[in-house]
Structure 1
Amino acid sequence: MHVISGRFKGAPLASPNANTRPTTDRTKEAIFSRLDAWDVIADARVLDLYAGTGALGIEALSRGARELVCVESDGRTATLIAKTLTTLKHGRAWAAAPGITARVIRAKAERYAAAGSGPFDLILIDPPYALSTDDCDRLLADLASSGTAADDALIVLERSVRSEEPSAPAGWVIGERRDYGETAVYYIERDARSDSERDGELGE
């Protein structure tokens, strides 16, 4: 596992154990190609929930994000992310990008989402496939209602292709779904329609 592109290209990412299911390089490249095309990474505040190796968040930081918060509940895994970030911070690429920040928070993703930390411009979520659809929907709703997600945030959610499709929070929509092998990726954003337009559809 390594950083694919950007200022930290080629930097290794430690995986804590065989049970960890990191995003494959193919899926990661597909996700970030879209994010780059949409110009949502540059100077963004990024939240990486269920961070695992930190691969998604660190990739965003490498490609131009200015702030990264990785949230991981497992202590050993969180320590490995912290070590990766420490190595990056001592390198030339970090010194050449003044103002960027990155930190790891050991906490449950669900609790952090509901706490109102942020706001974040880009939220990357790669939960265990075992996370139920109800719990996934609650997580998304908490991100939106707590203010953790900025008004113009983009949420990227990975799930198994065999899982039920999640429900976007009120006032948000699933803009796109893309499947890559066993992984379904959802791009969730604010509904661009006005409140009156949405209410009109509900009344039909």
Structure 2
Amino acid sequence: MTRVIAGSAGGRRLAVPPGNGTRPTSDRAREGLFSTWESLLGSLRGARVLDLYGGSGAVGLEALSRGAEHVLLVESDARAARTIRANVRALGLPGAELRTGRAEQAIAGPAPESGPYDVVFLDPPYAVADEELREILLTLAGNRWLAPDALATVERSTRGGDFGWPAGFEGLRARRYGEGTLWYGRAASTCDNAS
């Protein structure tokens, strides 16, 4: 079990998917993640958040608990997707949307009519190559899924070395939490990225 750390659902427990198919972001890393997002954005109130490797849904549901307007969780593992659905129902927070399937498929088309995302979080299995994540970020920018100056955060194994941001993204900082490192970046305006 893990929990929502703060906000309207703070302290509520969340189920985690069975098996080894997911690697939940630790409470300590999530605290650091949200502290950084809030320092860079000012607040999550009204933000649109895209979590491309949803796992248990902990990051997306934490964002809703802290005031995000909408969170799109993408998850390819069927057991993890069931866990996300159960956690969404248990918390009863409005604004959560789940898409099952691979991240690349979920973002292949144009951005949703409801608008671009202010924050994107990519926490794939460590076996996923950095190049694949750079391609996903470029697709997000090219298909206008990201708001101008959107924040992007990538969680990678601390053993993997530095994460290189693709063209159109500026690396801001990195924070290490045990086996994982959170890499923070910012997208240039979507008009600049779409060229």
| Shorter-chain TM-score tier | 0.7 to 0.9
Which of the numbers 111, 135, 139 marks the counterpart of 2:105?
111
- Aligned residue number for residue 198 of structure 1: none
Percentage of pairs with the same residue: 40
**Shift of residue 191, structure 1, vs aligned partner:** 4.7
Residue pair 2:99, 2:106 contacting (<8 A) in 1 also: no
- Aligned residue number for residue 187 of structure 1: 184
**Shift of residue 176, structure 1, vs aligned partner:** 0.9
List runs of 5+ in structure 2 lacking aligned partners: none
List runs of 5+ in structure 1 lacking aligned partners: 95-99, 196-204
Which piece of structure 1 moves more, 66-75 or 34-43? 34-43
**Shift of residue 161, structure 1, vs aligned partner:** 1.1
TM-score, with structure 1 as normaliser: 0.84
Q: Does 1:46 find its partner at 2:40?
A: no
Cα RMSD for the two superposed structures: 1.7
Residue pair 2:122, 2:155 contacting (<8 A) in 1 also: yes
TM-score, with structure 2 as normaliser: 0.87
Which of the numbers 152, 156, 174 marks the counterpart of 1:155?
152
Q: Distance in 1 between matches of 2:81 and 2:25?
A: 17
- Aligned residue number for residue 128 of structure 1: 125
- Aligned residue number for residue 144 of structure 1: 141
Please give the secondary structure, in 1, of the residue aligned with 2:7: coil
**Shift of residue 40, structure 1, vs aligned partner:** 4.5
1:50-101 deviations in whole A, cap 9, x for unaligned?
1000011111111110101110011221111111111222xxxx4xxxxx41
Q: Distance in 2 between matches of 1:40 and 1:190?
A: 18
Rg larger in structure? 1
1:95-145 deviations in whole A, cap 9, x for unaligned?
xxxxx4111110111222332334111111111000012212211211111
Which piece of structure 1 moves more, 34-43 or 171-180? 34-43
Structure 1 residue identity aligned to 2:175: R
Structure 2 residue identity aligned to 1:156: T
Which of the numbers 59, 65, 68 marks the counterpart of 1:65?
68
Q: Distance in 2 between matches of 1:36 and 1:54?
A: 19
